[in-house]
Structure 1
Amino acid sequence: MMREKTVLGGWSLFALWFGAAISLAEILTGSFLAPLGFMQGVWAIVIGHLIGGAILILGGIIGFNAKIGAMTSTRIAFGRYGSYLFSVLNMLQLLGWTAVMMLSGAKAADALSLSLWGIENLHVWTIVIAALILLWIALGKQGFTRLNVIAVVLLLGLTLLLCFVVFREQEIFASPSTGEMSFGAALELCVIMPLSWLPLIADYTRFAAHKTRGLIGSFLGYFLGSSLMYTIGLAMALYAKDASVVSMMNALNLGFFALGIVLLSTVTTTFLDAYSAGVTFRNLFPQFSERSIALVMTLIGLGVALLTPIEAYENFLYAIGSVFAPLFAIVLSDYFLFGNTRIDETLRLHVGYVFVWIAGIIVYYYFLTLDFIFGSTLPTMIVTLLLFVTLRKGVRTWTLKNN
């Protein structure tokens, strides 16, 4: 689909990331901030997305400068074998999230179709969503770009309608904090969402036609889209007094428009998971086409969604995802602080950096046991960065290289 000659303008990248941000997951996470009340919740959303978005764009800069995907970029610090390990882990989580997002969107669509028409068939909705994702991928660069822009315009219209319905309820603006959630805990929920895209963003910014416009488009697309979704989720929860997205939409009597939001938002978000799984696969087997592999990954994701008890699989996905916070703390530190910007083709594995990465994973799980006020992801990245800066001089020669 996207070969090296492919270029994406600032608007195309804005549309790509705005579409990625408009999802049920973002609305649901925003609803969790309701205990803060509306004004404190909005402050947490804006500050958290500024922090997370800034870190996300650092990964995008590497993709643009080096013209490589996110997992290939890990070769700069960790070497070829290290990038292979991270590619396998990333494919596992992307395949899992493809299945989880398909099934989550299908469940929401199924519940809405039941309330609208008295019809329910979870498997059919799952297949419909998978078919739309396959269409997104199969159309190729030109078709995808146009279709994604159309989808984002429609999503923007539906979202504005959602905003009109939600925000006309004036009492939500005066909602006070209940004291059941700290501002720091809310901030972590807002930071974690943009950081979850770190293993993907370079897959797309590498094709930016212009560095500044491409990076600004990517940042604004995600920042505005995700902040808006969080704020809508917050407002809907304060209005409907229910954390269920479907229940909140039913409470607002959105009907067919709610179904449109569910389907389009699921497709524009899940497409990135499926396509990046293809990009990651090419780091292992570069002879294959990204588009062909992305199509296969979508079909595998569909199979997992239809056949696997996905709720049990989500815990495994979170465990796999935890490796990427310390990983990118090292990759970004090595690139921006120490100026290591090129892949050393002789480097098979940087053993010293792997030890720091493992220490970072241990730190992550330690923060989980603490129930730390700022969560686990951002503190883990900061502690791993400090460990890396402190230990780098001593471990930088611990490498395996070609003879």
Structure 2
Amino acid sequence: MSSDPWGRVDETGTVYVRTADGEREVGSWQAGSPDEALAYFQRKYDGLVVEIGLLERRVRTTDLSSKDATAAIDHLRSTVTGAHAVGDLAALEARLDKLVGQVEERREKRKAERAKAGDEARTAKEQLVTEAEQLAESEQWRVAGERLRSLVDTWKGLPRLDRKSDDELWHRFSHARSVFSKRRKAHFASLDAQRDDARRVKEKLAVEAESLASSTEWAATAARYRELMADWKAAGRAQRESEDELWNRFRGAQDVFFAARSEVFAERDAEQGANLAVKEGLAAEAEKLLPISDLKSARAAFRSLNERWEAVGHVPRDARPQVEGRMHAVERALQDAEESEWRRTNPEARARAEGLTGALRAAVDKLSAQIETARSAGNTARADKLTRELEGRQALLDQALKGLEEFGG
């Protein structure tokens, strides 16, 4: 007879395992010694230990489902309960009981995780629906469209909820996309209509612009082109291909007109520049008549100069006041000389003579200061020009002072 803490072999070769409920026969052994019999049935026990260890590892380290884990535990438990093995079967039962607790704990954990994931998915989908409904009213067509497509991809990556909730949220989400698509389609249809209207308006503008390209009514036509440009801008944009083609026609017609006008104006400017040089020469000759010593000859000379002056054409507008002012100044000096006799006895005339003298003296002082400033700045041309003007003003001042002396001043 042979035994150990968990089993024994009797004299007949029958093998027993000891449990909390007493001994249980697990087999018989006739082929060898009792120790060999115990060793054989202990190896069967070790096999159960290995199987339970493997299941523990699977539960701990893999994603074995709770259902499969429970089935495996039940299978091993039935195996342990009727096992033909010698060892601490109660310890194996305890390990299986513990494993049941671990599986249940994991089941509850996974249930909580699924619930949390479901809540997170619900929240995420509700947020997607809210954003989609906001985008449905947007007029940022490209940006909003791209964002809605991105939201669809995000939706597909989220877990499904219960059918009712998922269907309700998807219906709202899909409806928002449909609303946006319909609004965008209507917008671009309206935009196409507007662009077609703009094309028709711009075609008319281009035709009129082309009809004006050869006009020589420079001021009126330039004004009309400005009106046409304002109408062009107010018409809005046509389709790109039409817009470019019509703009080239419209702008090309304007370029033809303004190029022709520029050429004419350039010729006119050259002619007026030559006229200015002639009139400046005549003004210089007139200023040489001052101060007036022989009124009769001065009057005749000025009349001749004035006839030549009238025969000369226009001068540039910005130069006209200055050159005409010089001639008018000589003319005024002649008039003053003619009136000097009767002015001599006229107090009002004396006052006017004094006023003219003061104004001419101020003009002479101002020109002198301007000449000094121009020379200091190195602007010799301006200084020379101002000097010529000063000579004329000084002659007028001398004449005015002479006239003033006639009043006994």
**Length-normalised TM-score, structure 1:** 0.18
With structure 2 as the length reference, what TM-score do the two structures score? Answer: 0.18
Q: Which has the larger radius of gyration?
A: 2
Higher relative contact order, chain-length normalized (CA < 8 Å, sep 6+): 1
